[in-house]
Amino acid sequence: MVRRIPRALARAPVPVFRRGLGWLLGSRIMMLQHRGRRSGLPRYAVLEVLERAPGRLLLASGYGPSSQWFRNISAEPRVRVWTGHVRGEAATARVLPPEEARGRLAEYRRHHPEAAAALGRFLEIPELAAGPLPADIAERLPLVELRPAA
């Protein structure tokens, strides 16, 4: 069973980002605004960035495909992103297909072995630390790519 972060702790950074102070939390933390799939209301999730490249952010749904933010962006991929000094930039979310996600996780593990091992311990996915990645890794740890809206 994956350890859950207490809701109050997970929500604590939201006001920091909304006030434009997200840069205080570093470059690996970002806030995602998405729409509730039933209510249509804006919802917020503070997430860790696995990979940052020009015009692209890579995120993992640590609680799997049942995570509310993941389910919401699967239904409506138009989102807004707060990261560093960027406030509310329009973006499009894309859930990576399993083979692409598996390759990106292998690459992440190769470039950031300590971070991958820590993530694996926290999410109770020991394969992130070492050994071959299982075929179902993308179902257990789905990846999402965010790109600025055109």
% of the chain at pLDDT higher than 90? 57
d(CA 73, CA 76) in angstroms, rounded, equals: 5
Q: Does domain 7-104+141-148 have CATH number 2.30.110.10?
A: yes
**6 has a pLDDT exceeding 80:** no
- pTM, whole model, 2 decimals? 0.88
Chain-wide mean pLDDT for the chain?
90
* pLDDT tens-digit map of 49-80: 999 999 999 999 988 999 999 999 999 999 99
pLDDT at residue 1, rounded to an integer: 46
* pLDDT tens-digit map of 102-143: 999 999 999 999 988 988 888 888 888 888 888 899 899 999
Closest CA to 37 of 65, 79, 76, 91: 76
The angle formed by the CA atoms of residues 53, 47 and 56, to the nearest 5 degrees, is 20
- The answer to whether the CB of 59 falls within 8 A of the CB of 48 is yes
Closest CA to 119 of 128, 107, 130: 128
**Cβ contacts of 131 within 8 Å, gap of 6 or more:** none
At 94, the amino acid letter reads R
**Cβ contacts of 70 within 8 Å, gap of 6 or more:** 61, 63, 64, 95, 142, 144
- The answer to whether the CB of 42 falls within 8 A of the CB of 35 is yes
**144 has a pLDDT exceeding 80:** yes
pLDDT at residue 49, rounded to an integer: 92
Question: What does 10-78 look like in DSSP terms, one character per residue?
Answer: HHTTHHHHHTT-GGGG-TTEEEEEEE-TTT--EEEEEEEEEEEETTEEEEE-TTGGG-HHHHHHHH--E
pLDDT tier, 3 (very low <50, low <70, confident <90, very high otherwise): low
- Segments making up each domain of the chain, as ranges: 7-104+141-148
- Helical ranges in 76-128 per DSSP H: 98-111, 113-123
Q: What is the mean pLDDT of residues 18-29?
A: 88
**22 has a pLDDT exceeding 60:** yes
- The answer to whether the CB of 49 falls within 8 A of the CB of 58 is yes
pLDDT tier, 2 (very low <50, low <70, confident <90, very high otherwise): low
